[in-house]
Amino acid sequence: MRLGNEDQTTETPDQSPSLEQFVVGQLREFSHENKTAVSEKHSPTGSDYLAFIARATNDAIRDWNVKSDELSWPQGLKSLFGYDAASSDGQIGFWQKNVHPADRARVSASISEALAGKDDKWTGEYRFRHGDGADRNILERAVILRDETGAVIRFIGSMMDITARKQLHDQLCRSQRMEAFGQLAAGVAHDFNNFLTTILGYGDLLLHEKQIKGPLAEHVTEIRAAAGRASALTHQLLAFSRRQAMEPIIVEVNSIITNLERSLLRLLGENISVVCNLHHEKDGAYIKADPQQITQIILNLAVNARDAMPEGGQLTLETGVVDLPRHPKCPVDCNDCAPGQYVVISVADNGTGMNEEVKAHLFEPFFTTKAADRKSGLGLATCYGIVHQSRGHLRVESDEGKGTTVHVYLPRVPAPPPPSYKKPGSKKLRGGTETVLLLEDDVSVRHISVRVLRGLGYEVIEAANSNDARHLLAENGGRRVDLLLTDMVMPHVSGRRFADALRAVHPNIKVLFISGYLEESLQPSDRCQPGMFFLPKPFDAEQLAAKVREALDA
């Protein structure tokens, strides 16, 4: 493929200047324009000037004679690209064949357009194969030399390696996309949780009605079960957005794997074997995390591994302890990694592996390579959210045809003290006669909560916003309120601000927050303080009753 000016038909002797002459000429022209005297004695020679450029930039320079298609490399072929002089055949074809195939047509067309026009400069970005076989991202800035007739003589380009900068830019773009998706997921989950709270609440009320029997009761049970499954979906969305409700405890990592082993065998099928290489730390390897969420991570990774081994294979689970970031295999994003010991859970398969394009989108939600009837695109995105919410990190190693290994890094914590013996106490009553002020702007959630609480014997004052609540309290002559049950996110005045104002007048009042958002996603000034409690949506009648009683008895 020739990039030269095909319309050039006049054969003239090649009298184009050498690269050294061109550089020195440009330097003298610059000096003359700036009225700076540059004597022959002190002006640098072409080779000296090129050496100076090499030390300053470490760029590669390619000098292409457009008429003859000869290509020379005055500098950088070895230092930047790892090729010796013998590797280049002295023709433009060497450059062309090492440009990434996906970029070749675009770059060639852009250069041809510049040569066919009147431009004297060209700039472009593309990938160029290094001598080690890896691709480098290149920014090339070139000057186009023409003769008196405007015909192209030389194309001299300075090639800069921008691989690191490109990777940082791509990582920033991915982070911004992930953050945007996370905010969207959290907002959807919040609204969805309100709907589910209503469905679960009225489902419970129907099941407790004496008239609801037989097939009708079964229908209501199925509705409630579907709402429960929908609640699990909102948990996935919140896990991806790092706003999932967590119940972290200190747990030994090997115990999680051991409890999962039998379930994994059923999940993977008979044609996939499971090998466990668990650590032998004398003092154990403890993490502080939600065991159910860690289980979810391992199951998600196991399902991905199974799908990557359609003909069967081996799944390997390993646990261990490493020091980060001193460990040579530190996670890719270890600039955010706090130094210290981490427990590592590794899930490896010997399946199809992934190419670089797939790995670039690995943790993006709704991105999947699976068949349409088996895809959700939330599995790895959920893992990403859970791990980072637990102050951990993920690292993925994968090559096409060689399988995939996912390493989950979680901070190591000291072993917990032995549990103390507690004498079983009598079961607390779920109901009561106290007065509850319910502040909730969602009418369906407010109505079902009122019905549940009044059914348990409580006196309930209900309000849709803070202004209504103040009017109702004034009309009741300052009647004692034992518990404020309020949504955190309210119009005009947040639930936390209203709670603070109410407690300033009635310091003994208890506060129970409810929200479809998770507490850690709110502004610090809107979060709970001692003496306040939190109940995430969606909740059912039993959970509401238990939490109200816990808050009142505190």
Residue by residue, DSSP assigns 454-473 as: HHTT-EEEEESSHHHHHHHH
Q: d(Cα 128, Cα 134) in Å, to the nearest integer?
A: 8
Residue 150 is encoded by which pair of tokens?
């405007």
Q: d(Cα 309, Cα 268) in Å, to the nearest integer?
A: 10
Q: What mean pLDDT do residues 394-415 have?
A: 90
- Quote the DSSP letter at residue 448: H
Tell me what pLDDT residue 165 has: 84
Q: Give me the long-range contacts of 264-269 (CB less than 8 A, separation at least 24).
A: 264/298, 264/299, 264/302, 264/315, 267/299, 267/302, 267/303, 267/306, 268/302, 268/305, 268/306, 268/315, 269/306
pLDDT at 376 over 50: no
Residue 303 lies in a domain: yes
Query: Are 134 and 269 contained in the same domain?
Result: no
Residue 378 is encoded by which pair of tokens?
């939330």
Query: Are 367 and 223 contained in the same domain?
Result: no
Q: Where residue 126 falls among pLDDT bands split at 50, 70, 90?
A: very high
pLDDT at 72 over 70: yes
Query: Are 45 and 80 contained in the same domain?
Result: yes
Residue 45 lies in a domain: yes
Q: From 218, 240, 262, give the residue that closes a domain.
A: 240
pLDDT in tens, 130-182: 988 889 999 999 999 999 888 999 999 999 999 888 877 776 766 666 566 65
Tell me what pLDDT residue 534 has: 86
pLDDT at 257 over 80: yes
pLDDT in tens, 87-114: 878 899 999 999 999 999 999 999 999 9
Query: Are 135 and 58 contained in the same domain?
Result: yes
Q: Which CATH number do you get for residue 456?
A: 3.40.50.2300
Query: Are 407 and 469 contained in the same domain?
Result: no
Q: Where residue 431 falls among pLDDT bands split at 50, 70, 90?
A: confident
Considering only residues 67 and 374, tell me which one the structure prediction assigns the higher pLDDT.
67
Tell me what pLDDT residue 476 has: 72
pLDDT at 400 over 80: yes
Tell me what pLDDT residue 125 has: 93
C-alpha dihedral sign at 75, 81, 82, 83: negative
DSSP string for 119-174: -SEEEEEEEEE-TTS-EEEEEEEEEEEE-TTS-EEEEEEEEEE-HHHHHHHHHHHH
Tell me what pLDDT residue 40 has: 45
Q: What mean pLDDT do residues 515-540 have?
A: 68
Find the domain containing 257 and state its range.
249-413
Considering only residues 57 and 446, tell me which one the structure prediction assigns the higher pLDDT.
446
Tell me what pLDDT residue 339 has: 82
DSSP string for 48-85: HHHHHHHHHH--EEEEEETTTTEEEEEE-HHHHH---G
CB-count burial class (<10 Å; 0-12, 13-18, 19+) for 82: middle
Q: What mean pLDDT do residues 425-449 have?
A: 79
Q: What mean pLDDT do residues 531-538 have?
A: 79
Considering only residues 524 and 532, tell me which one the structure prediction assigns the higher pLDDT.
532
Residue 244 is encoded by which pair of tokens?
């999932």
Number of domains in the chain: 4
Q: Where residue 10 falls among pLDDT bands split at 50, 70, 90?
A: very low
Span of 46-50, 239-243, 364-368 with lowest mean pLDDT: 239-243
Tell me what pLDDT residue 105 has: 93
Scored b (16 or more CB within 10 A) or e, 22-40 reads bbbeeeeeeeeeeeeeeee
Q: Which CATH number do you get for residue 351?
A: 3.30.565.10
Q: What mean pLDDT do residues 405-423 have?
A: 78
Span of 93-97, 122-126, 396-400 with lowest mean pLDDT: 396-400
Q: From 100, 135, 161, give the residue that closes a domain.
A: 161
Query: Are 222 and 79 contained in the same domain?
Result: no
Residues comprising the chain, all counted: 554
Tell me what pLDDT residue 94 has: 93
For 450: left if phi > 0, alpha if psi spans -120 to 50, otherwise beta; the answer is: alpha
Tell me what pLDDT residue 25 has: 55
Q: d(Cα 348, Cα 342) in Å, to the nearest integer?
A: 19
Residue 552 is encoded by which pair of tokens?
């009142």
pLDDT at 479 over 70: no
- The Cα-based distances of 491 to 196, 439, 443 in angstroms read 21, 11, 13
Question: Considering the chain, what is the average pLDDT of its residues?
Answer: 77
Considering only residues 398 and 193, tell me which one the structure prediction assigns the higher pLDDT.
398
Q: What is the DSSP pairing of strand 483-487 with strand 510-515? A: parallel
Tell me what pLDDT residue 419 has: 58
C-alpha dihedral sign at 26, 30, 35, 37: negative
- Quote the DSSP letter at residue 99: B
Residue 374 CB: number of other CB atoms within 10 A? 9
Rounded percentage of the chain residues whose pLDDT exceeds 70: 71
Query: Are 468 and 394 contained in the same domain?
Result: no
Residue 3 lies in a domain: no
Query: Are 332 and 371 contained in the same domain?
Result: yes
Residue 101 is encoded by which pair of tokens?
């195939």
Residue 427 lies in a domain: no
- Short-list 212, 417, 387, CA closest to 297: 387
Residue 490 lies in a domain: yes
Q: From 161, 192, 217, give the residue that closes a domain.
A: 161
Rounded percentage of the chain residues whose pLDDT exceeds 90: 24
Q: Which CATH number do you get for residue 111?
A: 3.30.450.20
Residue 421 lies in a domain: no
- Short-list 488, 551, 516, CA closest to 198: 516
Query: Are 331 and 221 contained in the same domain?
Result: no
- Short-list 523, 481, 522, CA closest to 499: 481
Span of 39-48, 283-292, 380-389 with lowest mean pLDDT: 39-48
Alpha-helix residue ranges (DSSP H) falling in 342-465: 356-360, 379-389, 443-455
Query: Are 112 and 45 contained in the same domain?
Result: yes
Q: What mean pLDDT do residues 345-349 have?
A: 93
Q: What mean pLDDT do residues 454-463 have?
A: 91
Span of 108-112, 256-260, 274-278, 403-407 with lowest mean pLDDT: 256-260
Query: Are 275 and 371 contained in the same domain?
Result: yes
- Amino acid occupying residue 75: Q
Query: Are 400 and 259 contained in the same domain?
Result: yes
Considering only residues 498 and 355, tell me which one the structure prediction assigns the higher pLDDT.
498
pLDDT in tens, 313-344: 999 999 999 988 765 555 544 445 678 899 99
Tell me what pLDDT residue 519 has: 53
Alpha-helix residue ranges (DSSP H) falling in 418-540: 443-455, 466-475, 495-505
- Confidence (pTM): 0.41
Residue 300 lies in a domain: yes
Q: What mean pLDDT do residues 367-387 have?
A: 58
pLDDT at 502 over 70: yes
- Amino acid occupying residue 93: G
Residue 272 lies in a domain: yes
pLDDT at 366 over 80: no
- The Cα-based distances of 350 to 259, 272, 298, 347, 397 in angstroms read 24, 10, 17, 11, 12
Considering only residues 410 and 258, tell me which one the structure prediction assigns the higher pLDDT.
410
pLDDT at 506 over 80: yes
